[in-house]
């Protein structure tokens, strides 16, 4: 059996695992009810980018297996293959941009928790999310229409590194803010700071891992450009490039689950817990949800 066909079947397995893993990540975000509107939307945008990366690559591999054409033809000549590549590079850029926006969002939430929940802040982040999608289209256009791959990909790598740095700053600042605002900020504001600290700390490994995988991708692209590979030799490097991204998608949710005890426990006991409104104390009083608790304190401690 041709080595590329053997690798293609392995790729299909990796694609299926990546899809399942990303469904898990999406469900984790859906369950995290304490996440702010902006934070939740940006993480969903990040999830969408990974779905685009995985599905577009899976369709390319599927077409290679069943069209009885060379990998080079499917990847570089076939109209459908080129379409999957355009979507793939769109997802590649969107992944980087959504992560850096998430990092910026966490930093702003740590700097001004008092005004962070205002409507105009939500509108700004919706606009930035739309802008990130437009920039992702430009990125894909530069690669496929402009014939330039190394420079745009290097630029996205710098975006990933910037996201790491910003998220580290947000994590440290939220911790310092939380410790220094006892009796100064309202409980709701301090809860917001604690959420910034928690999600920043637990997503730092995932963001660092994303930067590392993008650096590996840069190395592979450089090898492809400087090595003048063609045919099956080029296909092997393209397969490695795509599956580095897929393996990241497989691993990433579990990196968060290992670090984030609350999310892990909530995920494990989703079907075993009683609805929140039915939980009671030993004297029969209903225990309010976390949202109702902080709403009550906000209204009574003004």
Is residue 286 classed as helix, strand or coil in its secondary structure?
A: strand
For residues 176 and 295, state if they share a domain. no
For residues 247 and 302, state if they share a domain. no
Of 143, 125, 151, 112, residue with least CA distance to 44: 125
123, 38 contact by CB (below 8 A): no
As given in the structure block, the two tokens for residue 113 are: 């928790």
CATH at 93: 1.20.1070.10
For residues 214 and 170, state if they share a domain. yes
113, 189 contact by CB (below 8 A): yes
Of 36, 4, 15, 20, residue with least CA distance to 189: 36
For residues 161 and 242, state if they share a domain. yes
Cβ atoms within 10 Å, residue 279: 12
For residues 233 and 299, state if they share a domain. no
Of 20, 42, 8, residue with least CA distance to 203: 42
pTM of the model: 0.79
Of 236, 253, 288, 297, residue with least CA distance to 20: 253
Q: How many domains does the chain fold into?
A: 2
pLDDT in tens, the chain (302 residues): 478 888 888 999 999 999 999 999 898 888 877 677 888 899 999 999 999 999 999 998 888 888 778 777 887 778 888 888 899 999 999 999 999 998 898 888 777 766 666 788 888 889 999 999 999 999 998 887 766 777 888 888 899 889 889 988 888 887 777 776 666 666 666 776 777 777 777 778 888 888 888 888 888 888 877 777 777 777 788 888 888 889 999 998 888 777 666 666 665 665 444 444 444 433 344 545 555 555 544 444 44
- CA-CA distance, 248 to 50, in Å (whole number)? 9
For residues 143 and 290, state if they share a domain. no
- CA-CA distance, 170 to 118, in Å (whole number)? 19
């Amino acid at each position: 059996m041709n080595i590329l066909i053997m690798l293609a079947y392995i790729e299909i397995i990796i694609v299926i695992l990546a899809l399942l893993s990303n469904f898990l990540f999406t469900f984790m975000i859906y369950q995290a009810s304490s996440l702010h509107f902006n934070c939740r939307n940006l993480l969903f945008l990040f999830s969408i980018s990974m779905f685009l990366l995985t599905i577009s690559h899976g369709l390319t591999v599927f077409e290679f297996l069943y069209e009885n054409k060379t990998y080079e033809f499917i990847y570089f000549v076939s109209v459908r293959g080129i379409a999957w590549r355009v979507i793939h590079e769109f997802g590649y850029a969107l992944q980087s941009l959504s992560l850096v926006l998430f990092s910026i969002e966490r930093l702003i939430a740590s700097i001004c928790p008092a005004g962070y929940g205002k409507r105009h802040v939500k509108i700004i982040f919706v606009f930035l999310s739309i802008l990130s999608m437009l920039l992702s289209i430009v990125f894909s256009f530069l690669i496929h229409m402009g014939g330039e791959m190394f420079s745009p990909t290097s630029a996205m790598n710098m975006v990933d590194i910037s996201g790491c740095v910003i998220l580290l700053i947000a994590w440290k600042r939220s911790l310092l803010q939380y410790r220094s605002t006892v009796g100064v900020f309202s409980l709701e504001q301090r809860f917001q700071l604690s959420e910034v600290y928690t999600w920043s700390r637990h997503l730092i490994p995932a963001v660092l891992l994303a930067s590392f995988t993008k650096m590996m991708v840069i190395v592979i692209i450089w090898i492809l450009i400087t090595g003048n590979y063609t045919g099956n030799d080029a296909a092997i490097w393209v397969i490695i490039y795509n599956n580095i991204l897929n393996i990241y998608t497989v691993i990433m949710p579990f990196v968060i689950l290992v670090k984030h005890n609350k999310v892990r426990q909530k995920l494990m006991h989703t079907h075993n817990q009683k609805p929140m409104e039915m939980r009671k104390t030993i004297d029969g009083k209903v225990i309010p949800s976390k949202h109702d608790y902080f709403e009550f304190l906000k209204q009574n401690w003004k």
